[in-house]
Structure 1
Amino acid sequence: MDSLVGSNHAGRNWWDLQHYTIDIETDIDNKRLSGIVSIKYKVIGSGHVMMIDLQAPMLITKVTSGGKIIPFKQQGRFWWIDKNSEGKVGKIDSIMIEYNGSPKVASNPPWDGGLIWNKDEKGRPYVGTACQGDGASLWWPCKEIQSDEPDMGVDLFFQAPKDLTVVSNGRLLSSTIVDAVKKRWHWRVTQPINNYNVTMNIGQYERIAEIYEGKKGPLDVSFYVLDYNLEKGMELFPEIKLMLECFESRIGPYPFYEDGYKMIETSFLGMEHQSGIAYGNKFKRGYSGRDRSNSGYGLLWDFILVHESGHEWFGNSITSKDINDSWIHEGFTTYLETVYTECLSGKEAAEKYVIGQRKIITNKKPLINQYGVNFDAPGDIYDKGASLIHTIRTIMDDDEKFFAMLQNICKKYYHSSVSSDELEAYMIKESKLNLKPIFEQYLRHTDIPTLQYTIQDDVMTLAWTKVIPDFKMPVLLVTKQGNRKWITASDKPVSFRLNGDFDHWDENIYCEYKLVE
């Protein structure tokens, strides 16, 4: 079953997503949804059946195409629809799926996926969604694979009680009264979007808005907060602009100018919902008031605002083809926390921040494991991924070149999906360094390289241990006289004469050091 979820098999590989129209009526009192999802797609190959994901207890009740009822059958979370591509390669086709049910309720969002049917502090309905990992098919039928996003975006219609506000991705096109008790909202996303990023938020919201003059011109920036948190939202709002200024200057323009930037207060901690960032940090500094790095610098800014917004570049614009490569999302985005610390407090502070995060790394599982099976990536994709990127930056020893490389990555893979192999090859090309053994060691193995060294008189001998065969990586030695010396070490011992008294190794390279007496 995992291979059906995680692979691009015969039920998926012959059709390419073009557009979703999602039309949902909410029944908040009974925690139910009913709706119609229209899927426009392009036929790109030969196929005889279409697979759609929709998880229990949600049920598909009817499928139509071209005005005709289309037969379908259920196999667990998979729904097999009698569509084929005979004689249609290159053509645009569509299906319309009617469905309903009581979607899974998230017991611990965002880590446990599902619908969040909450009440705010005044006892009013407060609804949200969080489904990364578990999948958007928890609450609407879709093609649940990251490598295929709807090229032309999504139209989102929601019907809800008229005294509440529905906030979703993209731009609000209309809100119209349906009857005495209901209102209908229409949001539009014009850019490709991951399924798990599609969001529905319902509550007593107030909007804070401003135009940000960014790298690509005027950008609509909004922050939707519960009405009684309006003052707190206005106090936090300027940090959104600081974040945008920092990231645009270091890694390039915000990737979704067409759909605007939006942050939405939620009852759960946060999620990187594209052009509708979920924010639940309760207006505290750090990560719910904590500094994950224990450096002190993590309490100078709002973690959820910075981290989840960073995903707009890495995760939302640049998406891993397989979730087994999720280090691309989380490693780079976690490193953007270091970049933001540097924007605020300087490079030395940023180094202390990323080094401080290493205490969280467990090294129990490799960052990359098995493809095509919906593999649940380990938590180390965050902090170990960030330390890998910082190690590469340190080895490059040229910040201008490093940030140019990040900007080129954001340009090359803009609004597209990429595998780790492809990204690794591109970074090797851009850096002009042999990073292949470094990627292999840090991504696909758990052992952290240990530099074993001896000092006899003024001669040092060193070699890497706990590494793959033929591993090579430079290290930076600092003498008591302040001299810095780069040494390319391998798994074979090498000796050299010290130019001064040895003092320490540069900590910015993520490894361990062992002096052999």
Structure 2
Amino acid sequence: MRKFTLTSLFLLISQLILAQNWDWGGPLDPLQQKFTIRHYRLELEILPESQSIQGSNTITFSAEEKLDTLRLNLIDEYLVEKVVMDGREVGFYHRNDILDIIPVDCTCDQVQVFYGGKTPLAQNPPWMGGFTWEKDQFENHWMGLSSQGEGSQVFMPALDHPSSEPSEGAEIIITVPRPYFVASNGRLMQTTEKDEKVTYHWSTSYPINVYNINFTMGIFQEEKLGFKSSSGEIIPMHVWVLQENRDRAKDLLEVLKISTETQEKYFGAFPFPADKIAVVETPYLGMEHQTINAYGNNFQFVPMGKVNYDWLLHHELGHEWFGNKVSVGDWADMWIHEGLTAYGDWLFYWEHGGPEAYFTKVKSEAKNIPHAKPVVSPLNSTEEQAYHPEIYTKGAMVIHSLRGVLGDEVFFPMIKAFASDERFTYQNRVNTKDFTDFVQTYSNQDLEGFFELYLFSTDLPKLKVSKRGKNGFSISLQDIDFEMPVEVQTSEGIQRLNLGPKATEVKSTSIPIVDPKGWIMLQK
């Protein structure tokens, strides 16, 4: 064990003092309900030697009435130097991580905030996010940003709420010392060099979650190809890895290609074809950032059938469909992001490992679900309130169970249809009721009891099997008030029965095995 010195204790205490617990979401501030964001133009210089940023964010917005106060979010650690509207400096108040701007008497729909300062340091990225400053093996600076738990307030002034996305996208214009590169969202529009600095101008016209606006700095090896999407479009595909890992870049690109093909098969064409499909190596494990996913899994590829699988890469890529294309407006419904994406991870096993690998994976995950919290959190939850492991595992298990209930011929087209429905995609937000209503309408089945049980409670049906006569058994699911189809294996084979609180009789010379493959969650 490493010797725990007074110096290390002091450093630990200092880190804890510096650590912040920024949260976001919850009820939308009444002042922020009065306007919507159309576009962000973020222009920053990254100063690695001082671990700071300096620049501005130009925010284009719409409001149906004249605003007395334009309220944005920005942590107090940054100094706001000035705010400009209609070519004039305007008044503002910056305190308690809130930036209140007093608009000038004009019809203008744009404000530019100039700010800067030392960046908040990520304590345990990506779970406790912020900026991560590292150096690679060649002593080059390497900077990553993660902010799912904290929101965009840790790097830019914004309307920082999951219900708010800029309807016309964002520009991210980052200046760094030469020869550093910056990977960001969208497409690289322009690179300009001046003196000893280089500026990268990235742009996306798609709506984007504010915490997904992202930039990573380093000296990277790039590999790329043109990916032929199931839509027929050729989409740029890129990977950027550190120079020390340049020999792994082509392998990573191939893993990304196979994962994208797999995601497209089950969820539809890649959602952002006008931009790119990409990952960049980061000094933390990973995070979904629209069209530039963070990757820090150290190339731990696992053979799966004839291909290689990287769980981290595949999971973050899956968020392009669920999280980035299909987005919730309330963190209470975060399971739609994480549960559906985690189920997409299981489908990689199905596609490349076969049914045996798939069911082995499902059973391994299911046995570790504690059923301690409902998958759906209370309305107006913050990110911290809604984020817990079961939105992944139990969320995925609900989708798996739904597949078992509906059957593949209904389930797979239904999931793809949901991910393609314009009511729930891009600029439009989605909630749990949207999903459950869609499933019931599409399948023409009453699944209210199923969803109420598995999404909103921690209860599980209690399986009861009783002997009846010489070669008979009765089977029931206690503590529920509905029926659902369940496979039952008897001496005569596997049959599919509607089980519920009322006992169902079966004939068998051996004790029936209820749900032998593990489609549903039961107390056995």
TM-score under structure 1 normalisation?
0.91
* 1:360 CA displacement: 3.1
Task: Give the Cα–Cα distance (whole angstroms) in 2 for the partners of residues 495 and 508 of structure 1.
Answer: 20
Q: Is residue 389 of structure 1 aligned with residue 405 of structure 2?
A: no
Give the structure 2 partner of residue 447 of structure 1: 459
Task: Give the Cα–Cα distance (whole angstroms) in 2 for the partners of residues 120 and 363 of structure 1.
Answer: 41
Q: Is residue 474 of structure 1 aligned with residue 482 of structure 2?
A: no
**SS class of match (1:6):** coil
Indicate if the aligned counterparts of 1:110 and 1:131 stay in contact, CA closer than 8 A.
yes
* 1:351 CA displacement: 2.0
Q: Is residue 411 of structure 1 aligned with residue 420 of structure 2?
A: yes
Alpha-carbon spacing, 1:300–1:209, altered in 2? closer, same or farther (3 Å)? closer
What amino acid maps onto 1:407 in structure 2?
A: K
* 1:486 CA displacement: 1.7
Task: Give the Cα–Cα distance (whole angstroms) in 1 for the partners of residues 67 and 468 of structure 2.
Answer: 69
Task: Give the Cα–Cα distance (whole angstroms) in 2 for the partners of residues 355 and 5 of structure 1.
Answer: 34
**SS class of match (1:360):** coil
Alpha-carbon spacing, 1:306–1:402, altered in 2? closer, same or farther (3 Å)? same
**SS class of match (1:243):** helix
Equivalent residues in 2 for 1:282-361 (5 A)?
Answer: 282-285=298-301, 301-361=309-369
* 1:447 CA displacement: 2.1
* 1:230 CA displacement: 1.4
Equivalent residues in 2 for 1:260-279 (5 A)?
Answer: 260-279=276-295
Q: How many residues align?
A: 495
**SS class of match (2:37):** strand
Give the structure 2 partner of residue 362 of structure 1: 370
Give the structure 2 partner of residue 498 of structure 1: 507
Give the structure 2 partner of residue 222 of structure 1: 238
Indicate if the aligned counterparts of 1:3 and 1:373 stay in contact, CA closer than 8 A.
no
- Residue-by-residue CA offset, 1:138-176 (whole Å, 9 max, x unaligned): 111111111121111111111111111111111111111
Task: Give the Cα–Cα distance (whole angstroms) in 2 for the partners of residues 378 and 461 of structure 1.
Answer: 38
Give the structure 1 partner of residue 204 of structure 2: 189
* 1:192 CA displacement: 0.8
Q: Which stretch has the larger CA shift, 347-356 or 239-248?
A: 347-356
Q: Is residue 460 of structure 1 aligned with residue 476 of structure 2?
A: no
Alpha-carbon spacing, 1:230–1:333, altered in 2? closer, same or farther (3 Å)? same
Task: Give the Cα–Cα distance (whole angstroms) in 2 for the partners of residues 505 and 488 of structure 1.
Answer: 10
- Residue-by-residue CA offset, 1:13-54 (whole Å, 9 max, x unaligned): 121111100000111111111111001112245753221011
Task: Give the Cα–Cα distance (whole angstroms) in 2 for the partners of residues 46 and 479 of structure 1.
Answer: 71
What amino acid maps onto 1:463 in structure 2?
A: S
- Residue-by-residue CA offset, 1:67-106 (whole Å, 9 max, x unaligned): 122222134011222249x997xxx711111111112100
Indicate if the aligned counterparts of 2:333 and 2:376 stay in contact, CA closer than 8 A.
yes
Q: Which runs of 5+ in 2 are unaligned?
A: 1-20
**SS class of match (2:392):** helix
**SS class of match (1:253):** coil
Alpha-carbon spacing, 1:384–1:479, altered in 2? closer, same or farther (3 Å)? same
* 1:449 CA displacement: 2.2
Instruction: State the identity %.
Output: 28
Indicate if the aligned counterparts of 2:404 and 2:520 stay in contact, CA closer than 8 A.
no
Alpha-carbon spacing, 1:359–1:44, altered in 2? closer, same or farther (3 Å)? farther
Indicate if the aligned counterparts of 1:114 and 1:130 stay in contact, CA closer than 8 A.
yes
Q: Which runs of 5+ in 1 are unaligned?
A: 290-295
Task: Give the Cα–Cα distance (whole angstroms) in 1 for the partners of residues 253 and 519 of structure 2.
Answer: 35
Task: Give the Cα–Cα distance (whole angstroms) in 1 for the partners of residues 240 and 313 of structure 2.
Answer: 13
**SS class of match (1:372):** coil
Q: Which stretch has the larger CA shift, 363-372 or 202-211?
A: 363-372
Indicate if the aligned counterparts of 2:476 and 2:499 stay in contact, CA closer than 8 A.
no
Residue from 68, 90, 113 that aligns with 2:88: 68
Task: Give the Cα–Cα distance (whole angstroms) in 2 for the partners of residues 77 and 473 of structure 1.
Answer: 49
Task: Give the Cα–Cα distance (whole angstroms) in 2 for the partners of residues 99 and 383 of structure 1.
Answer: 40
After superposing on structure 2, the runs of 4+ consecutive aligned residues of structure 1 that deviate more than 3 Å are 1-5, 44-48, 458-463, 499-503
Indicate if the aligned counterparts of 1:17 and 1:151 stay in contact, CA closer than 8 A.
yes
Alpha-carbon spacing, 1:337–1:462, altered in 2? closer, same or farther (3 Å)? same
* 1:501 CA displacement: 4.3
* 1:273 CA displacement: 0.7
Alpha-carbon spacing, 1:356–1:471, altered in 2? closer, same or farther (3 Å)? same
Indicate if the aligned counterparts of 2:377 and 2:386 stay in contact, CA closer than 8 A.
no
What amino acid maps onto 2:416 in structure 1?
A: Q
Indicate if the aligned counterparts of 1:450 and 1:511 stay in contact, CA closer than 8 A.
no
Give the structure 1 partner of residue 59 of structure 2: 39
What amino acid maps onto 1:339 in structure 2?
A: L
Give the structure 2 partner of residue 205 of structure 1: 220
Task: Give the Cα–Cα distance (whole angstroms) in 2 for the partners of residues 427 and 83 of structure 1.
Answer: 45
Let me know the Cα RMSD of the aligned residues. 2.3
Give the structure 2 partner of residue 166 of structure 1: 182
Residue from 44, 68, 77 that aligns with 1:48: 68
**SS class of match (1:129):** strand
